[in-house]
Structure 1
Amino acid sequence: MTDRLNIALAQVNPTVGALGANQSRIRSARADAAARGADLVVYPELVICGYPPEDLVLKPFFLERVRKAVEELAADTADGGPAMVIGAPWQDQGRTYNAALLLDGGQIAAVRYKHDLPNYGPFDEKRVFSAGPLPGPVNFRGVRLGLLVCEDMWTPDVAETLAETGAEILVVPNGSPFETDKSDMRMNLSVARVTETGLPLIYVNQVGGQDELVFDGASFVLNADRSLAAQLPGFDEHLGMTHWTREADGWRCASTEFAKPAERLEAIYRAMVLGLRDYVGKNRFPGVIIGMSGGVDSALSAAVAVDALGADAVHLVMMPSPYTSQHSLDDAAEAAELLGARIDTISIQPAMQAFDSMLAPAFAGKDPDITEENLQSRSRGVTLMALSNKFGGMVLSTGNKSEMSVGYATLYGDMCGGFNVLKDIYKTTVYELCRWRNAHLPAGVMGPSGRVVPDRIITKAPSAELKPDQTDQDSLPPYDALDDILECLVERDMGLMEIVARGHEAEVVNKVWRLLDRAEYKRRQAPPGVKITRRSFGKDRRYPITSGFISILAG
């Protein structure tokens, strides 16, 4: 019976479906862990195929290739080096499970299946996986490990069963995506499981971007007395070594590394950078193209893009109309200069004139209205997509969550693009992030230190500049009020009178509610973007386009 264990926490960044590349990442981490004396390496949930694999796991030939990749990794452990706990989709008697597998001694030494399948927000595992039975511990070189796969830790049943059947250390492979304040929730739940079972706990989380999800890593270890023994950094790949000793009352991890968790704005910003970097890189785009307006949204998007990809991979384009102010031209140019990024100017006035001429017979007798404003936005969208087609860069759209909520965006215009880092960022948070980034240089970014968003962009009144003297507040409530109402409606599902009780006028709440409802069809056609809040637009909020409920509630 061993009394000492060295366990490595492999916080890696897999790519969904890239079995060979993920296998190489797993092997590289194992080699590093072996050089540092590890007995066991623990990887995140479904690391061999990346998480979430969604409907890939419904393809039998995909599962066959997964099994072959796992068997090859198992064979690696015949070299006498560290064993591995890896995650993989696994077929057993005609059913597919989300599995944690112990690889040791050249073979698959044990398999345990995820019992509690999440079916909320971005998760729909019940569509593709069968729930496993309540598991017992696995024997690893005389130590009984209790394997809980991600959601299994969020409720007490699995941990309780493992403790009752003799587990000595709880090991939790995770694919837990980032949300603001979620790290506190994870820690609180982990403390609850430790308190209930009296067992230490190892929590290993995936890192990296996958479509709209960002996994922030931040893996950790808790001892049985609930003390924190290790805290890995967030938003970075990292191999953490932990050293364990069997004591009279059970296993204890010696204190090792303690990375300081990111505060709210830093965490949001780093999630945006990581999400964009991996979306562009994993989809093999050479860079991004951003339409610059001289406003705060495009300026922040450009800063995130340069931080994620480097200035050479970011092409900024200013597309003035007759309504574009000189200060917008100057501010866009200053933002590009601060970031060190290329900016070109392409006037859309010829396109506006062409549309006016082309549509004049059809519009005869009609006064100009929002139609002509939207044609400006669509002219810009066509221009950006043409540049994307010609040069290969992905168009990064720049609309924020406040605008997307109330439909303050133009289909096939400023909504054009392949990705949007501001999609889940309210306007008030956009301003906070600009100020924060001007004062801080986040770890691991490729952009410059110091100010990256011009001061005037932050302080001036926001405007679409589609007609003379236009500002956003001509048609919207002030953004601090709007964002509070939207958060109540979208994130909290609050009713009209509850929101009014917070100090908002009923008429304003009613208007915002209607705008939110009516814009659903636009959001269905919007590009993906980084999930930041508890309920982002997309899989988190599946709301009907056609619905009479709003008129019943709001009158």
Structure 2
Amino acid sequence: MNRQGFYRIGCAVPELKVADVDHNVEKITEMMDAAVQKEVDVLVFPELGITGYTCADLFFQERLVEAAQGGVKKIVEHSKDKAGVFVIGAPVRMFHRLYNCGVVIWTGKILGIVPKIHIPEYNEYYEKRWFSSGQDFTENCQVEYAGMSTWMGTRILFRDKRDTNMALGLEICEDLWVPIPPSSHHAMAGATVLLNLSASNDLVGKREYRVDLAKNQAARTLSAYAYASAGFGESTTDVVHGGDAFLVENGTLLAENQRFALEGSLTTADVDVERLAGERTKKQGSYYGTGALPWDYQLVEFQLPENISTVERSVWKHPFVPSRQEDRYQRCEEIFQIQTTGLMKRYLHAQAKSLVVGISGGLDSTLALLVCVKACDRLGVDRKNIKGITMPGFGTTDRTYNNALALMEQLHIHWEEISIVEATMGHFEDIGHDPQIHDVTYENAQARERTQILMDLANKYNGLVVGTGDLSELALGWATYNGDHMSMYGVNSGIPKTLVRYMVDWVADNSLQEVRSILHDILDTPVSPELLPPDKDGNIAQKTEEVVGPYELHDFFLYYVVRFGFQPEKVMTLANRAFENIFDAETIEKWLKKFYQRFFSQQFKRSCLPDGPKVGSINLSPRGDWRMPSDASVAAWQKFWEK
């Protein structure tokens, strides 16, 4: 398959012997072979791994430095028939000085040598005794090393010829710990994958701090960060090296090894450089600041295989919903606070006397009502100021009707029941519509009648109409224009359907437990606008997901199409992986086509949305995150299916 931006990055921690270059070269090449078997594209080894980091004054011995250069030459030879890029740590003598370096090797060539810049000289570190700083290299220069000419310097970018999004930048151990790491400059120059050759010893609590440093740096630079640190075999005279290795992408930990292993470890993860490049493009104003790019970098190219056999990357099927319950609860609590705070501000600013909300017994209106209740509680306002209006129509079932009544009664709000049947029938007569024809006129007339009632009651009660529609409905246009599409403040507008369910469940268990049983029954009710008559048994006949498709698929599509701008083929690849054994490829393709068609055709509804709070990384407000012409063509995206 085509790469679609995926590259397999590896962190290798081989077992070593201090100052035994031949042994270390053997272990390094063994791990190179293992990485090739796993189709690793880039493999990074620990700092000074060819000699061992803890050689101390042995670095003054010509024998060791020459042996290291000879060892690098053997590794270069070993790489001739290998497709990947290998980054080795070695002491390099140049201009009568010794440098702690990362040596970048590809198919029998040394692409470049990058010296460590920040040389620690505190506590257990004495590196300045042996090594000079890479700051000596005010410019990159050509040098002779291990029998070949190559670049040496601190500002070298290593980039794939076929994919300019795939670019490597190196830093070494302490370089990460300083206020402005070299990797910040590398990222500004275009590096999407940052490699750290390290020999950070282990102390209590240090590992967590290391990971946090890498996660924060990857997030700040919108990069992938691969960290490989020295392990078993380093001298234990004063410290112990646990062999820490992990990979991070834009602040998220993708993979990690088990520290303190006696044998070597190979840790890999597939990073998505297309995703990283897309994020940078979107945030270019703040990412690149004044727009001045660092042109003093030397660009060195390599070429990785164009295709890969598989993508070994975990893809969570509900990208808006944290997979861990603890994280999910925290997310729900924070979103609920955002919703209620937003509504409180709007209520006070408008000097309103009430909140008017239509209650159907469905998920969205339930969440909106819960937000209203919590907002009133926090403001010290009587819950009777909430005007809950249930408006049964042609498709209302006993289950949703009874849940709506029970919910309003047990929350002690003011509620009213206003049937829309008679008014809608009169409207059908006015416009000459046969009520036996259950078409879009039949459905939308009901939605607009309900909205008219809510708006007029808001005038009567000096109130605000609180909108109930969610982000997924806005993406698909699953709302009646100037019907349920309209309100005075849409508290759910930033929340996708898959997350609405968890929000209601969280409130049931953690906030408004007095209505817990009702909320759980609402959660078990099929999603429906209830605009068509029930079946012969009085059950919901019109099920939204049978018409527009499963919301968990559409939310997945929404995340990757809007958040990252991925092409249809990549969205398909990710969806097939995420929903393996749940939906087949044909089903996923069917609904992805439907998503694009609806997303483009329904933009006109999003162009005039009411205000509502943004709660996550995606929002479709025309005043906020999403600006799109209402008459844009979907043709370019549909070409994917014409191949």
TM-score where L is the length of structure 2: 0.44
Selected match of 2:523 from 458, 461, 467 = 458
Selected match of 1:522 from 605, 623, 626 = 605
CA deviations over 1:133-154 (Å, ceiling 9, x no partner): xxxxxxxxxxxxxxxxxxxxxx
Matched with 2:450 is: 380
Matched with 1:535 is: 618
Cα contact 1:303–1:452 (8 A) shared by 2: no
Supply the distance in 1 between the matched residues of 2:328 and 2:591 (Cα, whole angstroms): 38
**4+ runs deviating over 4 angstroms:** 189-193, 363-368, 447-450
Matched with 2:467 is: 397
Q: RMSD over aligned Cα, in angstroms?
A: 3.1
Per the TM alignment, residue 189 of structure 1 is displaced from its structure 2 partner at its CA by 7.2
Secondary structure of the corresponding residue to residue 516 of structure 2 = coil
Residue identity matched to 2:446: Q
Q: Which has the larger radius of gyration?
A: 2
Matched with 1:491 is: 563
Supply the distance in 2 between the matched residues of 1:476 and 1:432 (Cα, whole angstroms): 21
1:506 aligns with 2:589: yes
Matched with 2:635 is: 551
1:345 aligns with 2:417: yes
Residue identity matched to 1:421: V
Selected match of 2:408 from 331, 336, 345 = 336
Per the TM alignment, residue 336 of structure 1 is displaced from its structure 2 partner at its CA by 0.9
Selected match of 2:337 from 262, 270, 282 = 270
Q: 1:390 to 1:189 in 2, by over 3 A?
A: farther
1:407 aligns with 2:477: yes
CA deviations over 1:370-391 (Å, ceiling 9, x no partner): 1111000000011111101111
Structure-to-structure mapping, 1:46-61, within 5 angstroms: none
Q: 1:437 to 1:262 in 2, by over 3 A?
A: closer
Supply the distance in 2 between the matched residues of 1:424 and 1:527 (Cα, whole angstroms): 12
Per the TM alignment, residue 552 of structure 1 is displaced from its structure 2 partner at its CA by 1.7
1:306 aligns with 2:378: no
Matched with 1:241 is: none
Supply the distance in 1 between the matched residues of 2:356 and 2:599 (Cα, whole angstroms): 29
Secondary structure of the corresponding residue to residue 396 of structure 1 = strand
Identical counterparts, % of pairs: 26
Q: 1:364 to 1:347 in 2, by over 3 A?
A: closer
Cα contact 2:355–2:387 (8 A) shared by 1: yes
Cα contact 2:548–2:594 (8 A) shared by 1: no
Residue identity matched to 1:435: D
Unpaired stretches in structure 1, ≥5 consecutive residues:
1-154, 158-183, 194-259, 442-446
Supply the distance in 2 between the matched residues of 1:303 and 1:272 (Cα, whole angstroms): 10
Matched with 1:23 is: none
1:478 aligns with 2:550: yes
Matched with 1:289 is: 356
Secondary structure of the corresponding residue to residue 532 of structure 1 = coil
CA deviations over 1:297-343 (Å, ceiling 9, x no partner): 10111011100124232110001113211111101011112322121
Per the TM alignment, residue 282 of structure 1 is displaced from its structure 2 partner at its CA by 2.2
Residue identity matched to 2:373: V
Per the TM alignment, residue 350 of structure 1 is displaced from its structure 2 partner at its CA by 1.6
Secondary structure of the corresponding residue to residue 499 of structure 2 = helix
CA deviations over 1:337-357 (Å, ceiling 9, x no partner): 232212110011121111111
Per the TM alignment, residue 286 of structure 1 is displaced from its structure 2 partner at its CA by 1.8
Q: Which moves more between the two structures, 300-309 or 365-374?
A: 365-374
Matched with 1:438 is: 508
Q: 1:514 to 1:190 in 2, by over 3 A?
A: closer
Supply the distance in 2 between the matched residues of 1:192 and 1:551 (Cα, whole angstroms): 36
Q: 1:388 to 1:192 in 2, by over 3 A?
A: closer
Supply the distance in 1 between the matched residues of 2:603 and 2:219 (Cα, whole angstroms): 39
Cα contact 1:385–1:416 (8 A) shared by 2: no
Secondary structure of the corresponding residue to residue 409 of structure 1 = coil
Residue identity matched to 1:529: G
TM-score where L is the length of structure 1: 0.51
Structure-to-structure mapping, 1:58-97, within 5 angstroms: none
Supply the distance in 1 between the matched residues of 2:435 and 2:616 (Cα, whole angstroms): 47
- Aligned residue pair count: 302
Cα contact 2:553–2:591 (8 A) shared by 1: no
Q: 1:405 to 1:458 in 2, by over 3 A?
A: same
Secondary structure of the corresponding residue to residue 263 of structure 1 = helix
Residue identity matched to 2:523: I
Matched with 1:356 is: 428
Residue identity matched to 1:463: S
Per the TM alignment, residue 408 of structure 1 is displaced from its structure 2 partner at its CA by 0.4
Supply the distance in 2 between the matched residues of 1:190 and 1:478 (Cα, whole angstroms): 34
Q: 1:306 to 1:189 in 2, by over 3 A?
A: farther
